[in-house]
């Protein structure tokens, strides 16, 4: 079976699937962040991300939405796609007792994205900074970020320094770097 990945485009989609997707592109434009974009088949599996990474020319990251047991503290963890998530290591690096995967309805409520479309760019919806961004050291050191645009059918190639400096500052977030 063939997985569709378009040629790289330099402009936003003509129509947006969600308000979050629209806000992401508006913010990138406002901040002057250049990007490459590919349209794809539904890219929710690690296998599909291999094709997407090849089409973008940079690796797509894995983004995990986590919370504490009481569902009062939230973390957005960005790591390499091939790196396994080890709860013990994550908790130890942050000095927190326990985390688990946050419920999908909380992902929508806090970040305006659905499962499989999770992206650090959706922090534009976390206006009261309830979500802590945690980035794996290897990912933070990259020159380019490959991630979703808040949907499962469109992926971006972005300059990592501009995202870490300009985009996060715009959203009022800072990244905790671990690993």
Task: Dump pLDDT digits (tens) for 66-80.
Answer: 999 999 999 999 999
- The answer to the question of residue 1 being in a domain is no
- The answer to the question of residue 58 being in a domain is yes
CA separation for the pair 78, 173 (Å, rounded): 14
pLDDT surpasses 90 at 95 = yes
Residues 90-116, mean pLDDT to the nearest whole number: 96
The pLDDT of residue 97 = 93
CA dist list (Å): 150 to 30, 86, 122: 18, 25, 7
- The answer to the question of residue 4 being in a domain is no
- The answer to the question of residue 169 being in a domain is yes
Q: How many distinct structural domains can be found in the chain?
A: 1
- The answer to the question of residue 76 being in a domain is yes
pLDDT digits (tens, 9 = 90+) for 121-173: 999 999 999 999 999 999 999 999 999 999 999 999 999 999 999 999 999 99
Residues 35-61, mean pLDDT to the nearest whole number: 95
The pLDDT of residue 172 = 97
What DSSP character marks residue 99?
A: -
The pLDDT of residue 134 = 98
- The answer to the question of residue 2 being in a domain is no
The pLDDT of residue 46 = 82
pTM of the model: 0.96
Contacts of 83 (CB under 8 A, 6+ apart): 62, 136, 138
Task: Provide the strand spans (E) within 19-60.
Answer: 36-39
pLDDT band at residue 100 under the 50/70/90 scheme:
very high
CA separation for the pair 90, 112 (Å, rounded): 24
pLDDT surpasses 80 at 81 = yes
- The answer to the question of residue 3 being in a domain is no
Residues 24-28, mean pLDDT to the nearest whole number: 98
pLDDT surpasses 80 at 1 = no
Decide the pairing of beta strands 100-101 and 74-80.
unpaired
The domain that holds 67 is classified in CATH as 3.90.960.10
CA separation for the pair 20, 113 (Å, rounded): 7
Which domain, by its residues, includes 97? 19-178
pLDDT band at residue 30 under the 50/70/90 scheme:
very high
Mean pLDDT of the chain: 96
The pLDDT of residue 171 = 97
> Could you tell me if 127 and 36 are in contact, meaning their C-beta atoms sit under 8 angstroms apart?
no
pLDDT cut 90: percent of the chain above it: 98
């Amino acid at each position: 079976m063939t997985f569709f990945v378009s040629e790289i485009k330099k402009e936003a989609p003509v129509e947006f699937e969600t308000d979050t997707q629209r806000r992401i592109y508006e913010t990138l434009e406002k901040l002057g962040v250049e990007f490459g974009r590919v349209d794809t088949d539904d890219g929710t599996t690690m296998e599909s991300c291999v094709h997407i990474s090849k089409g973008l020319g940079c690796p797509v990251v894995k983004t995990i939405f986590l919370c504490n047991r009481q569902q009062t503290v939230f973390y957005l963890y960005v790591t390499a796609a091939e790196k396994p998530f080890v709860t013990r290591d994550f908790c130890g690096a942050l000095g927190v007792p326990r985390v688990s995967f946050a419920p999908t309805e909380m992902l929508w409520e806090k970040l305006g994205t659905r499962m499989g479309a999770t992206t650090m760019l959706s922090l534009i919806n976390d206006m009261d900074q309830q979500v802590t961004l945690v980035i794996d050291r290897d990912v933070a050191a990259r020159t380019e970020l490959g991630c979703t645009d808040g949907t499962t059918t469109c992926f971006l190639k972005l300059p990592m320094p501009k995202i870490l400096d300009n985009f996060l500052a715009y959203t009022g977030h800072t990244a905790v770097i671990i690993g």
